[in-house]
Amino acid sequence: MRLTQKKIEEIMLSILGEEGLPLIKELSGKQNVSEFELADRLKKDIKIVRKMLYLLYNHNLVSFIRKKDKIKGWYIYYWTLQPESIKFSYVKRKKELLAKLQQRLEEEMRELFFTCPTRCVRLNFDQATDFEFHCPECGELLSQENNAERIETLRKKTAEVEAELEELMEKRKVRKAVTKARKKEVKARKREKRTVSSKKPSKVKKVKKTAKKK
């Protein structure tokens, strides 16, 4: 899976909101960025920047190292994005989205829905029965909704997410296969080296003979 800026931002938006995007842009492609440097570039209070960084840290999306300032004596934290954790989070969220879409699609196909003329509420059959098919907000008579368009939209969205996940899983399989093949190649080279070294004639130490005294 190629970790594009768009994918990174999609994940971060769900955690930090729009306010956090400038922070992500400052961290992208860099390592061990000082929190004070980030606060200075973003023109934000250090406490606000730290809060966002710790929130990302709680989701395992960043790591940090700390170094003691020799002059001031306090610790400064240096932050780095974790690409592999971001990839994992992206796939996880897509799976969660797919599960929700499938559940909604199933409900739309199974249930009957009713709305009032002014669209105050949308109720399923059991809920509409509780209110005797009258809107609990405006009192108007409810009518059955034609949800064919809604179902079609959900089907398309579900198919899109399924296709993306399938592509991601296929790329992961290819990546694993390549890694496995490389490991086998390295092991084979090591075995070959051991075999060659074992075939080399061993050096015989020459022992000097000393003449025996009579």
* 214 has a pLDDT exceeding 50: no
How far is it between the farthest Cα atoms of the chain? 133
Determine, yes or no, domain membership for 94: yes
Determine, yes or no, domain membership for 14: yes
Mean pLDDT over 179-203 rounds to: 72
* 14 has a pLDDT exceeding 90: no
HSE of 3 in the Cβ direction (CA atoms, 13 Å)?
17
Determine, yes or no, domain membership for 204: no
Determine, yes or no, domain membership for 151: yes
Both 95 and 161 in one domain: the answer is yes
Which of 30, 52, 81 finishes a domain?
A: 81
Domain extent at residue 62 = 5-81
* 103 has a pLDDT exceeding 70: yes
Higher pLDDT, 45 or 210: 45
Both 64 and 112 in one domain: the answer is no
What is the pLDDT confidence band of residue 18, given thresholds at 50, 70 and 90?
Answer: confident
Determine, yes or no, domain membership for 212: no
Tell me how far apart the alpha carbons of residues 11 and 113 are, in angstroms, rounded to a whole number: 33
Both 57 and 92 in one domain: the answer is no
Both 46 and 60 in one domain: the answer is yes
Tell me how far apart the alpha carbons of residues 67 and 82 are, in angstroms, rounded to a whole number: 20
Which of 66, 81, 96 finishes a domain?
A: 81
Both 115 and 137 in one domain: the answer is yes
Both 99 and 150 in one domain: the answer is yes
Determine, yes or no, domain membership for 185: no
> Model pTM?
0.66
Both 104 and 136 in one domain: the answer is yes
Average pLDDT, the chain: 86
Determine, yes or no, domain membership for 107: yes
Phi and psi torsions of 80, nearest 5°: -140, 135
Higher pLDDT, 96 or 10: 96
Of residues 19, 50, 55, the one with CA closest to residue 36: 50
Domain count across the chain:
2
* 80 has a pLDDT exceeding 80: yes
Both 69 and 108 in one domain: the answer is no
Both 101 and 77 in one domain: the answer is no
What is the pLDDT confidence band of residue 126, given thresholds at 50, 70 and 90?
Answer: very high
Both 72 and 112 in one domain: the answer is no
Which of 81, 110, 130 finishes a domain?
A: 81
Both 31 and 65 in one domain: the answer is yes
- For residue 85, count other CB atoms closer than 10 A to its CB: 16
Determine, yes or no, domain membership for 203: no
